Chains A and B, each alone.
Chain A
Amino acid sequence: MRFLPLHGLMAVMTVCVALCLPASVLAALPQALIEKLALGENEDKIVAIGDVVTAADPEGLSFLQSMLNGEVQTVAEKKQVLIVRDGKAVDAVSGKEVAPIPEGAEDLTLNNRVRREIESAAAALKLVSTDRRARLTAAKALEGGADEGMLPILAKALEKEADPEIKALLLIIQASVQLKSSDAAVRLAAVKALAGSSSSSTKTVLLDLMEKKGDTWSEPDTAVRAEALISLEAVERRLVTGQRIGQVFSGASLGSILLLAALGLAITYGLMGVINMAHGELIMIGAYATYQVQNFFRSHMADWFNWYLLAAVPMAFIVSALVGMVLERVVIRFLYGRPLETLLATWGISLMLIQGVRTLFGAQNVQVENPVWMSGGVELLSNVVLPYSRIVIIGFSCVVLLLVWLALTRTRLGLFVRGVTQNRAIASCMGVHTARVDTWCFGLGSGIAGLAGCALSQIGNVGPDLGQSYIVDSFMVVVLGGVGQLAGTVYAALGLGVVNKFLEGWAGAVIAKIIVLVFIIIFIQKRPQGLFALKGRFADA
C-alpha cells in the first residue's frame, strides 16, 4: 500500500520511456550523415550540415541542436555517436539507450567556424516553425549567415509566411544570397531589396561587392555597383541612428552611475558642507553588504537567489547609513566648520575602512553574481542592444533620486535639514535639535552611497579599492553641479556621463578622461559656484 505511489510513478515513467523510445528511433538520421557530422573533419562536417539543410529534415534539426548544446559525445574507436542528456546516453544512430556511458567517450568539440554553420543551418530549419517568435529569432539569426543551399528552404518559408515583419526579413536574407547569382539582373534586384535592411551584416555584404582586387571588382556589373552604393547609404543611415541611440544610452547609463555615486555626497558635502573623503568607502561598504547578502541567499535560500537584490538594497542602505552615522557621531561632528581637518580626518578614516575590509574579506576582488534577469539585453535595433543590468540601474537611480527629493521636500526631517543648512543658528532657536539632524542627514547621505555600491556591484568589480575610483568623480559631479543643490547634481551627472561617452567614442577612454578633467578645471575657474548657484544671503555661509 505504502509503495503504491512509487509504483504508479514508475509506471508513468515506463510509459514515458516507451513513448520516447520509438520517437528517438524514428529520429535516427542516416548513419553516414551522423558519422560525418560528429566524427568527420571540419570540412566534412560543413558539407554534412549543408546536406541536413537540403533535406529539411526536422530530425536533422534536433541533432544539430544537440551538437550546439554540447550533448553529443563520441567514441572514436567504435565510431559510436551518443547523445547524452541528464547522464543518460542514447545512441544517435540506433536510438537505443546505452548504459553505462562507454569509457573514452569524449565531448564533441566544435570551433567557431562549424558552430556558425550549425547556427545558420538550425535557424534556416526553424524558419518553417509554427511559433511566430521562433521564426522571428531564426530570421534574425540568419541575417548575414545564409548561403545558397538555403534558397529552397527560404522560398518555402516565404511562400508560407504571413507575418509582414518576418516576411521583410526573409526577403532581405534571400536577396543577400541572390547577390552571388550569376545573373546580373537577379543581383540588381537583390541589391535594391537590400536597401530596406537595417542590419550591419548587410553593410558588410554590400561593402564586399565594392571591393576592388587589382583591376577587377568583386561585382563586375557597373549598374549593380551603383545601386549597391545607394542601398549602402540607406543602410548606413539606419545604422547611424542606432549608433546615436546607443551612445546616448551609454551616456545615460554612465550618468546614472555618477548620479548614484554623487547623490549621497550632494547631501553630506553639498548640504552639510562636510568634505567627506570616506564617501567612496561608504560606496564600497554598500557593495560588500550586497556581497554578503548574496552569499547568505546562496547558502540559505538558493531558491530565491535570483531575487537577492531586493534584500541587498535595503541592507546596503542600512549598513552604510550606520557606518556613516557612527562616523558622524564619533569624528566628524567635532570638526564642523574646519574643512581642512575634516578632509584629513575623513581621508584617514577611508584608509582605515579600506584596510579593515581588506583584513576581513581579503585583498582580492569578491564575486557578486548578476541575477539571471539582469544578464543579457533587449535588442532595440539590429546594432543596438541595451543590457538589462544598465536599464535596471538607470531605473534604480531615478527611483533613488525621487525618494531623496521626497525625503528632503516632503518630510519633517527634510524640512529640518533644509532649515539647518540655510541658517543653523535660527533653526536651533526654533527648537530644532541641530546635532541630531546632522547625524540623520549624514546617515541619509551615507545610506545612499551604500545604494550606489549595491548598484555598482552589478556592473563592476567589488574590491577594497572600489571607492577610490569613484570619489574623484563624485566630487567632480557635486562641484560642477553647484554645491547645495540636488538639481545641479542631476544635470551635472547626466551631462558628464553623456559628454564622456561621446568623447570616448571620438578620442578613446584615456584622452576622454583627460579632456573632461581639463574642462572641469576651466569651468570651475570661470564659474566657481557651479552650474546652479544658490541665490540669497545664505549662499556663502
Chain B
Amino acid sequence: MKRRHFLKSFTVGAAVASALSLGALQPAAAQTAAQNTIKVGVLHSLSGTMAISETVLKDVTLMAIDEINAKGGLLGKKLEPVVVDPASNWPLFAEKARQLLSQDKVAVTFGCWTSVSRKSVLPVFEELNGLLFYPVQYEGEELSKNVFYTGAAPNQQAIPAVEYLMSKEGGAAKRWVLLGTDYVYPRTTNKILRAFLKSKGVADKDIDEKYTPFGHSDYQTIVADVKKFAAGGKTAVISTINGDSNVPFYKELGNQGLKATDVPVVAFSVGEEELRGVDTKPLVGHLAAWNYFMSIKAPANDAFKKKWAAYAKAKKLPGADKPLTNDPMEAAYIGINMWAQAVTKAKTTDVDKVIAAMGGQTFTAPSGITSTMDPKNHHLHKAVFIGEVKADGQFNVVWKTKGPVKAQPWSPFIAGNDKKKDEPDGKTVIAK
C-alpha cells in the first residue's frame, strides 16, 4: 500500500516536474535554436502518384544534412531541415513553397520532381527571392536566377539516348514511339525529340506520340499499339512516363512479351527505385538514360552507396533491406553539397551572395566524375550513361560519354532558342 502510494506520488511528481521544466525550457530552447540553425526546406511529394520517386529524395537530402551537421554544420550553425509534403498536388507545391519562404524563412529549398511542380513554385521563388535546387532531369526551356538545376538538360540525357538507339550498336531504330505522361515535361521533351529526329531524316509517319494521364494503370492498349507500330520497321520506344504508372507499364510489357531485343524501351524517368517490386526478368535489355547508375564502379559511388545503406538502416526506411540509389538521389546529393560549399565560400546564406558563389563549384560526384556547376547557366556539367536493365533490377552501362557534357537548357532543336542567352536574365547582385 505504502509502496504503491509512493510510486504514485513519485510518478505524479515526475510528470509535473517534467511538464514544468518542458514548459519553461521550450521557448528558450526554440529561441536559441532559431538563432543557431540554418533552416533548409525540403519540398518533395511524400504521398500521391509521385511519392514512389520523390520520397527517397527527401531521405537523401536529410542524410546529407545529417552529414554536414556531423562535420559541424555551416558557418558554425547546424542545418535544420523543414520537411513539407505537397502530396503530388501541383498548386499545393506553390502554397508549401510560400510557407517555407515566408513563414519558415528557409535559406534554401531542395525539392520538386515533375516539371509541372517546378513551374508551379517558380513564381514564388522569384517573387520572394528564394533559392531552389531542382534535382531531376527535365525538358530545359527555362532558366531562372533563383533555381539551380542539378539534373540533366535534354542534351545531357534525351538526345544522346536517341542517338545511341539510332546507332548500329543500339539497334539502328528507324521508327519511334514517344510515350509519356500528359504534362509539360514529356510534351516539351517530345517536341525537342521530334525536331531532332526530323533533322536526322525521320519522317512524321515514323513517329508516334502517345500520352496517358497521371496515375494511369491500364497499359494494354498502349503496348498492343506499340507492337502494331513496330511491325512497320525497327522501332524504339522513348518513355517519359512518370511516377507509379511505370509499374503497371513495365508489368504489361513483361506480360505481353515485348522483348528489348525486338522493341527496346528507353526511359528517362525510370531508375533503380521505380523498378523495385517489378519482376525485371522479362525486362532485361530495356534501357534507361541517366547521369548516374547504382552499378557504376567508382570509389565515390561505393562511399555514397555505403552511406545510404547505413542511413536507410539506421532510420528504418521502407526498403532498407535492399537499399537502392539512383540518379536524382545523386543529383540531390550533389546539389546540397555544392550549396554547402557555396555558403562556406560566400560566408553567408544570403541568396544573392550564394548564387554568385555557386558558379564554378566542383564536387566529386558518385558517378565517378568531377561535376562542375557552370559559371553562368545554373546547370551542372554531367556525364551521360545509357544502361540496360539486368535481371536483378540494376542497370548495366552499355554506353557513356567521354567526359562531362555542358548543359544546353535552350535546346537548339526548338525554333527561336538560338537568340536566347545562356544565363538567367535576373539581376543577380554580385558581391564579393
Contact = CB atoms under 8 A, between A and B. Distances in A.
A62 interface: no
B244 A200 contact: no
B231 A112 contact: no
A377 B248 contact: no
B364 interface: no
A432 to B, nearest CB: 42
A508 B210 contact: yes
Interface string B312-354: 0000001000000000000000000000000000000000000
Interface string A61-86: 00000000010000000000000000
Contact of A377 (B48, B171, B256): B256
Interface string B233-259: 110000000001001100110111100
Nearest to B398: A111
A469 interface: yes
B411 to A, nearest CB: 25
B36 to A, nearest CB: 32
Contact of B232 (A207, A379, A383, A464): A207
Interface string A456-489: 0001110111000100000000000000000000
Contact of B261 (A115, A203, A387): A115
Contacts of B221: 247, 250, 501, 504-505, 509
Given A112-B285, A508-B210, A508-B211, A459 B256 contact: no
A119 B211 contact: no
A363 B210 contact: no
Q: Of residues A208, A243, A246, A461, which shows the largest number of chain B Cβ atoms within 10 Å of its Cβ?
A: A461
Nearest to B278: A367
Given A204-B231, A243-B224, A363-B47, A385 B257 contact: yes
Interface stretch (B13-21, B150-158, B212-220): B212-220
Interface stretch (A22-30, A89-97, A368-376, A526-534): A368-376
A121 interface: no
B47 A358 contact: yes
Interface string A101-122: 0000000010111011001000
Contacts of A203: 231-232
Interface in B171-226: 171, 182, 210-213, 215-218, 220-222, 224-225
A36 interface: no
Contacts of A390: 220, 255
B256 to A, nearest CB: 5
B227 A70 contact: no
Main SS at interface, chain A:
helix
Interface string B274-287: 00110100101101
A513 interface: yes
A112 B388 contact: yes
B9 interface: no
Interface in B355-399: 388, 390-391, 396, 398
A379 B259 CA distance: 14
A149 interface: no
A200 B259 CA distance: 14
A12 B17 CA distance: 75
B125 to A, nearest CB: 25
B12 to A, nearest CB: 31
B228 interface: yes
A362 B58 CA distance: 15
B73 interface: no
Contacts, number: 152
A385 B256 contact: yes
A383 B231 contact: yes
B38 interface: no
A106 to B, nearest CB: 9
B130 interface: no
Contacts of B279: 369-370, 375
Interface in A223-257: 239, 243, 246-247, 250, 253-254
Contacts of B92: none
B107 interface: no
B212 A509 contact: yes
B423 to A, nearest CB: 37
A273 to B, nearest CB: 30
A112 B227 CA distance: 18
A111 B210 contact: no
B180 to A, nearest CB: 11
B260 interface: yes
Contacts of A119: 261
Of listed A204, A247, A362, residue having the most chain B CB within 10 A? A204
A365 interface: yes
A377 B277 contact: no
B48 A113 contact: no
B225 A505 contact: yes
A236 to B, nearest CB: 9
B170 interface: yes
Contact of B254 (A70, A116, A375, A513): A375
A465 B231 contact: no
B169 interface: yes
A286 B48 CA distance: 19
B261 A116 contact: yes
A239 B231 contact: yes
Contacts of A370: 251, 279
B46 interface: yes
B261 A112 contact: yes
A36 B234 CA distance: 28
A434 interface: no
B168 interface: yes
Given A200-B227, A363-B51, A509-B211, A207 B171 contact: no
A364 interface: yes
Contacts of A510: 182, 211-213
B255 A112 contact: no
B267 interface: no
A388 interface: yes
Contacts of A379: 257
A358 B279 CA distance: 25
A292 interface: no
Contacts of A508: 210-212
A259 B213 CA distance: 22
Contacts of A295: none
B55 interface: yes
A383 B49 CA distance: 32
Contact of A246 (B217, B224, B230): B224
Interface in B260-277: 260-262, 264, 276-277
Nearest to B51: A364
A460 B169 contact: no
B326 to A, nearest CB: 15
B224 A247 contact: yes
Nearest to B227: A383
A144 B259 CA distance: 13
A306 interface: no
A312 B259 CA distance: 32
Contacts of B51: 363-365, 463
A42 interface: yes
11 contacts: A70-B390, A112-B264, A112-B388, A113-B171, A116-B261, A246-B224, A250-B220, A358-B47, A379-B257, A385-B256, A459-B217
Question: What 5 pairs between A and B have smallest CB-CB spacing?
Answer: A363-B47, A387-B255, A367-B277, A200-B231, A250-B220
Given A112-B264, A239-B228, A364-B52, 7 more contacts: A42-B169, A204-B233, A377-B257, A389-B251, A461-B244, A463-B51, A508-B211
Interface of B: 46-49, 51-52, 55, 85, 168-171, 182, 210-213, 215-218, 220-222, 224-225, 227-228, 230-234, 244, 247-248, 251-252, 254-257, 260-262, 264, 276-277, 279, 282, 284-285, 287, 318, 388, 390-391, 396, 398
Interface of A: 42, 70, 109, 111-113, 115-116, 119, 144, 200-201, 203-204, 207-208, 239, 243, 246-247, 250, 253-254, 358, 362-365, 367, 369-370, 375-377, 379, 383, 385, 387-390, 459-461, 463-465, 469, 501, 504-505, 508-510, 513
